Chains A and B, each alone.
Chain A
Amino acid sequence: KAGVTQTPRYLIKTRGQQVTLSCSPISGHRSVSWYQQTPGQGLQFLFEYFSETQRNKGNFPGRFSGRQFSNSRSEMNVSTLELGDSALYLCASMDNSYEQYFGPGTRLTVT
C-alpha cells in the first residue's frame, strides 16, 4: 500500500496570507490527524477527522481549520498567517489498530 502523502512538501508564505495543506491517507484508513511540530513547542495535536467529521480537536486558535472529504483525503487551512505558524505540519492516518502512520510533512515558512 502507498503511504501517507502530503502536498506541498515546502511552502513559503507571507504574514497575513492563508494556506491550504493537503493529506492523502493510506488506502482504507478513515481517520486523519494533523500535528504541528516546532522546535519550541514540539509536536502538538491540531485535530482529527473520521468519516468527514471532526472527532477531536487540540488547543489551537480558530485560524486553524480542517476538513475531510468522502475519499478520506484531508485538508487543513491556516488563515491570517503569523510568523509563529512556521512549522512542520504532519498528517497521520490510522486504521483500527490505533497506530498512526505519518506522512513526510509540509514545511511551512512564514516571512
Chain B
Amino acid sequence: SQQGEEDPQALSIQEGENATMNCSYKTSINNLQWYRQNSGRGLVHLILIRSNEREKHSGRLRVTLDTSKKSSSLLITASRAADTASYFCATDLQGGSEKLVFGKGMKLTVNP
C-alpha cells in the first residue's frame, strides 16, 4: 500500500539553488522519515521527524511537518551535484502492521 506521495515527481535545478520536495500522507503517523537513494542502491536515512515536532534541521536539510494537513516538506539548501538522487518519504503509521510505508519517490537532478 502507498501512503506517502512525493511532489513533484521530478525536479531539475542548478547547483547552488534550493530544492523543495513535498510529501502528503493519508493516516495518522508516529513519525515521518526522509531517505535518499542513489541509482538503484540502498537507501540512506536523512532525517526523522516525530508527529509532535514541527520542524527539524540537519546540516543543509530542513524538514517540516504539518499533521493537520498530513504533509511534510524537505528543503535542501545550496544544492550540490552530489545531491542528485531519488528522495523518498516514509511514514511510520499509528497502529499499522507495516513497519514503514514509502512513497514512490522523487528524482532530483542537480546540474553543475
Q: What are the interface flags for A24-64 relative to B under an 8 Å C-beta threshold, 1 for contact and 0 otherwise? A: 00000000010100000011110010000000111100000
Is B104 in contact with chain A by the CB < 8 A criterion?
yes
Is B64 in contact with chain A by the CB < 8 A criterion?
no
**A42-B103, A43-B102 are contacts. A56–B45 as well, Cβ < 8 Å?**
no
Q: Is the CB of B97 within 8 A of A98?
A: no
Residue of A nearest to B33 (CB): A99
Chain A residues touching B, range: 20 to 34
Is B101 in contact with chain A by the CB < 8 A criterion?
yes
Question: Which B residues touch A105, using CB under 8 A?
Answer: 40-42
Q: Is the CB of A104 within 8 A of B1?
A: no
Is B48 in contact with chain A by the CB < 8 A criterion?
yes
Closest beta carbon of chain A to B48's beta carbon, Å: 5
Residue of A nearest to B98 (CB): A45
Q: Is the CB of A45 within 8 A of B48?
A: no
Most buried by B among A58, A88, A100, A107: A100
Closest beta carbon of chain B to A35's beta carbon, Å: 8
Binding site secondary structure of chain A: strand
Question: Which A residues touch B100, using CB under 8 A?
Answer: 33, 45, 100
Residues 92-110 of B contacting A (Cβ, < 8 Å): 92, 97-105
Question: Which A residues touch B30, using CB under 8 A?
Answer: 98
Question: Which B residues touch A103, using CB under 8 A?
Answer: 42
Q: Is the CB of A33 within 8 A of B99?
A: yes
Q: Is the CB of B99 within 8 A of A42?
A: no
Is B88 in contact with chain A by the CB < 8 A criterion?
yes
Q: Is the CB of B102 within 8 A of A56?
A: no
Q: Is the CB of A102 within 8 A of B102?
A: no
Q: What are the interface flags for B39-62 relative to A under an 8 Å C-beta threshold, 1 for contact and 0 otherwise? A: 011111100100000000000000
Q: Is the CB of B42 within 8 A of A48?
A: no
Question: Which A residues touch B99, using CB under 8 A?
Answer: 33, 45, 48, 56, 100
Nearest 8 CB-CB pairings of A with B: A43-B102, A102-B42, A102-B43, A45-B98, A42-B104, A104-B42, A48-B99, A99-B45
Instruction: List A residues at the B interface (Cβ < 8 Å).
Output: 4, 33, 35, 42-45, 48, 56-59, 88, 90, 92, 97-105, 107
